[in-house]
Amino acid sequence: MVASIELLLGGARSGKTRLAQGRAAESGLEPVYLATATAGDAAMQQRIAHHRRDRATDSLAWTTIEEPLQLGPAIREHLQAGRCLVVDCLTLWLSNCLQRHCWPEQRTAFLDALQSAGGQTDGPPGDRDCRLILVSNETGLGVVPMGALTRDFVDASGRLHQQIACLADAVSLVVAGLPLNLK
């Protein structure tokens, strides 16, 4: 199995998820949504419900997997030939890992899964037998946060995005629902 890997970055409510879902629909592959969010408060419960409604109203029959921590193993398990796996969202996953003090090992397992999936293969992405679309918030465009945990989060997400961009076949920055293709 060799995957085409795409990273979609953008701010909150920039249209990243909608774009990812549209690209999954265009792929013609079986759509699988790997959600990393946990419903820790009412606002997050509403966001999760909104995403579920969006998937329910499009023409695809989505399979949804919820995995807030073990993203590397989940990608290895669910990224299969004939599937388009949308992972939403990497920054929520990173936050989960930082809060549970398991970031270094989870980051390593995730990057290993990406490399195994085909981020460093030759040949055009269209020749691959599955697709992986990673959705993440771009957090490095603002001011330097004052709190240590917030600084750690921004630094870790920036480094993670750079590492993924090296492995990815395509990277886009999404603003107002419009992608700016970076790679």
User: What residues act catalytically?
Assistant: 51
* 3-class SS string, the chain: CCEEEEEEEECCCCCHHHHHHHHHHHHCCEEEEEECCCCCCHHHHHHHHHHHHHHHHCCCCCEEEECCCCHHHHHHHHCCCCEEEEEECHHHHHHHHHHCCCHHHHHHHHHHHHHHHCCCCCCCHHHCCEEEEEEEECCCCCCCCCCHHHHHHHHHHHHHHHHHHHHCCEEEEEECCEEEECC
